[in-house]
Amino acid sequence: MKKIVIAMFLMMGILFAGQKQESIVIAAANVMNDIMSIPESSIPPKLLSNAKAIAIIPHVIKAGLVVGGRFGRGVLLVKNKNGWSAPCFINLTGGSLGWQIGVQSSDIILVFKNASAVDGIVGGKFTLGADAAVAAGPVGRNALAATDGSLQAEIYSYSRSKGLFAGVALDGTVLSVNDDYNEIYYKKEVYPTDIFKGYHIRVPKSGQVLRETVARYAR
């Protein structure tokens, strides 16, 4: 009887393993579709087409009472010679100071203009504003033409807020690779560079859909 119970728990573990990671990837695709569906507030297509990488972090939680904190899990996709890579799981953490109270859930998108920032994330913890300049990105299909000369940041941030806070200030926020989530999602230990280059990995259907979604908007 004990052996049967143990076997049942093992089967349940196999069935449920990866569901959390799947939900993040699916949510990331939905966030991308939702933000790009409204032309007046979408990411300029030219900015996306010139991007070297994009990070999508759904449901980032920011809570605070005078001293605030921020945490979320999401995915990072890199443009390679074959198009856009499979998703690599990342963590977003950070704190802020100021008079604030409440809880906010935001969907955050980061658009990377060069590959050096991605190398920083892969190499260890990467701090926005310290390791690379980050700024609120322009919105609207025609916004980039009007502001092209002033776009000097390496990373542009976009946020869809649902809670009590307004705006998104990401200086001091840390990005890091979530190796555990990558291992669960791809069902083996993998390095971020393997994911970005497509080496020896089988990309789940949700990852393929996300990759196609990003490619569609970043043509």
Within-domain flag for 203:
yes
Does 10 map to a domain? no
133 part of a folded domain: yes
- pLDDT at position 11 is 41
User: Considering the domain boundaries, does residue 13 fall inside one?
Assistant: no
pLDDT tens for each residue of 17-53? 568 999 999 999 999 998 888 777 788 888 999 999 9
Please check the confidence at residue 14 and state whether its pLDDT lies above 50.
Answer: no
Is residue 8 over pLDDT 70?
A: no
Which among 218, 184, 196 has a CA at the least distance from the CA of 36?
Answer: 218
Q: How far is CA 95 from CA 58, 71, 120, 170, 204, in A?
A: 18, 9, 20, 9, 33
Q: Which domain holds residue 85?
A: 18-217
Q: Is residue 80 part of a domain?
A: yes
Q: Is residue 11 part of a domain?
A: no
| 5: in domain | no
pLDDT at 61 over 90: no
User: How far apart are the C-alpha atoms of 197 and 191, rounded to whole Å?
Assistant: 10
Domain count, the chain: 1
Residue 2, domain member (yes or no) = no
Q: What is the pLDDT of residues 192-204, one digit of tens each?
A: 999 999 988 999 9
Burial 103-140, CB ≥16 within 10 A → b, else e: ebbbbbbbbbbeeebbeebbeeebbbbebbebbebbbe
